[in-house]
Every structure is written in structure tokens, then in C-alpha cells.
A and B are shown apart, each in its own frame.
Chain A
Amino acid sequence: MTFSPRSVMAAAREVLPKDARVFQILFLALLLTTGVLVRDFSLHPLQMALAFAAGLATQAFWLKRLGLEQCGFLSAIVTCCGLSLLLRSDTLWAHPLVAALAMSSKFVLRIHGKHLYNPANLGVIAAITLIPGTWVSPGQWGNDLALAVWLLMLGTIVTTRARRLDISWVFLGAFLGLVALRILLLGQSWAIWWHQLGNGALLLFTFFMISDPMTIPNRRGPRIAYALIVAAAAIAWQYVLFRPNALIWALFLATPLVPLLDRLFPGERFLWRGPEAARPTPLRACATSGTPPTAVAEGSPAPARSATAASSSFPVLPSRT
């Protein structure tokens, strides 16, 4: 019996879950635990529990209403993890309300069969602009390079798995490149660049939010352009307007460009479980993997281009058949 690296990798591929969201959940849970235990997140356990309860209940409600029983709760768990990581509140009701809003947005705000906003991103922006007593603590992770290395590693695994790694690296390169340019222009110390690189919030955003394959352009070229736009917008928000939470605001403001880019440059829509996990029986499509439900078989590569054929309406609710 031989154990070549290739055979070990192949075996690992067989054993490990095909769905990138499983990894995402594992890592987000790990980060959440680290944050609460080691980084003094001002997050009450009850806020987290209520966020999950409301998020999952909302997902269940929409799945039942739209007849998408085959779809799971992975995305909802990812969103609730994200909201717990980002959103802070001095009340108990803000988290569940935002979780419900964020999950609903996935089913209501749809264009060309893709949900428009990353639910956690939309949820956080809705909360800090509309709900009193909520805020985001961009400094909560600190600027610890050791933690940064962990985040880089974990994030790379997830984004590789989701086959959308390009957007993360392009964004990170562009953002840090612009920070470096500013340091050069102003004659600042390079310690600032390292300080920015060690920022946990930046890396979390890079690998766990902007990389959400459902809310980014389908084709590689537009995706890279989109990453550059978000990076430039974030730099402008942070160093021209001098306002906090640049990353989540930049993503929120740039998101409407995604359907436009998808329309101009049609490409294959992302499927969470990958073509290799395709099942023989056509299933109703999950809200995460596209509508209209009758036309798309989850995991099947064939109808992927149907997104471009779908008429543009806003918002689109998949009809029950």
C-alpha cells in the first residue's frame, strides 16, 4: 500500500464535505468562539441564540412557502454566524429582527434568479442605519498578525472550496495596495501597512463576505473588476470620507453592479455542491442556487446559463407550481 500525496488528497476529497458552506460554518463557529472567549466580544449568548432561532425559522418559513423543502439550512447558519460576528447591540431584539430581515432578503430581493445582497451584509447595514442601539465594532479583532495568518489559512480553504478564490485575493491585493500607495504618498511609517494587514475584520470580510459566490458576478473578468471597485470604494470611504465600517459599506454600495455585470457578461451561475455532486433526479432549485424553481435542477450543470435568459424583474418571487 502506498501513500502518495496525490492519493491522500484524493481520499481527503472523498471524505470531506463537498459543500464549501460546511467549512464556512465550521470556521465561522471557530472564529465566533475565539471572538467571544479571547477577544471580549460584547455579544450576549442570548442575542446569538435568538439570531439563530429567528434566522432558521425565517429560512424554514420561506422554504415551506415557496415549496423548496429540499433545500437545507446551511446558508441560514452561515448568515447567522456572520451577523453574530459583526453586529453588536444593547438590546435583545435587534439580532433576531435583523436575522429575519437578512434571510427574507434572500428570497425577496432577487434579480435573474440570484439573490442580490449578501444577507449578512444587508442585515448589518439595515441594522446600523435603521435600528437604534446597534453598531459594528471594526476594531474588535485587533491587529494581531498571528490571528491574521489563521484567518488567511481558513479563508483560503473555504474560498478554494467554493471555487471563487480569485475575488478574495484580488480584493485583498487591491485594498492593501491602495493602503501602501497612501503610505508612500504621505510618507507614513510602514508599520501602518502591517497594522492594516493584521486587521481581523479585513480578512474576515475578504474571505467570508465578499467571496460569497451567490452575490458576485458569474464570470471571472467582471468578478475581478468588481473586487477592484469594492476595494477602491472602501479606500474612499475610509480615507476620503473618514467614516467607519468602510468594507461593509463599500460592498453594500457596489452590490447593485452585480446584476448589471452579469447581464453584460453572462456566465455560469455558481452551484454550492459542484457538478461532481450532481444528483440524477431533478430537484427544485434552492433559493440559494437560483430560480425559477421548475427550470433548474440543483447540481446540474446544464441549465446554468438560464439565469441570463430569465427576465429581469425586481423583486422576483418564484411562483409555486
Chain B
Amino acid sequence: MFEKIYRRAISLFSKKVKGVALYCVKPSSSDEFKTIVERWNCVCFLDHWWREKHHIPFGSKMHLESNFIDMLFEFEEDVLYKKIRLNNLDPYEANKGAWIKQKKEESVKSKDSDFEKFKEDFNNLDLSKYDEK
């Protein structure tokens, strides 16, 4: 069974990565196959990120047509724009003391205070008027 999977993997990978000797070990067990997957993800670490982002299955037509330069370009572009967006939302002003982002904490705080308010309102509910009806 592993021999069959291995051959399929070789045919897919050789189309994608020419000249990269990733698969020198013939898998005879699931552990060896895991090693192959690990090696793939170590060498082509952006590949998984890219497939996950676009919901593209491994070995699909789209995947085989992609290339690592485009993936790297897209990754760096994402990082760049994320930085720009963050900086626009919450710009850093030097020496003002607010150099740590507080958003997460504030949202947790507001959730906590919402819950406290709800609890207080619930405790203050006058249920007696409902009993009368």
C-alpha cells in the first residue's frame, strides 16, 4: 500500500519540485511516510500556508500549477499590508507610554463588564409582578 502511495507522491512532487531530493527513502511504514510529509513541510514551509489560505487540496491541479516564488510574494505582501493596516488602526506615538496594544485586553474587559451588568440586572429583576399574572 505504501509503495503505491509513494509512487503517486513521487509523480506529484517531481512535477512540483524539480531536482529536490526529498524522497530518498522509500516508505515502508506510516512513520516513514510521516517523515516525508515533515520534510516536505520543512523545505516548502510556505506551501501549507498557501494551500490553507486558498483552500486548495494537496496535489490538486491548482496546487501543481502554483510556484514558490508566487507564494513567497503573496506571503510578504500579506505581512506588509497587515503591518500597514495595524499601524493605521493603532499608530505608535513614541514616548507616550502606550506602546503595547491594548485591544484584546479591552475586549475581554468589556465582555467581563457586560457579563457583570447582566448578572446585576438579573439579580435586580422583580419577579413578583410576573407571579401576579
A and B are partners in one complex rather than unrelated chains? no
B residues at A contact (CB < 8 Å): none
Q: Which residues of A contact B (CB under 8 A)?
A: none
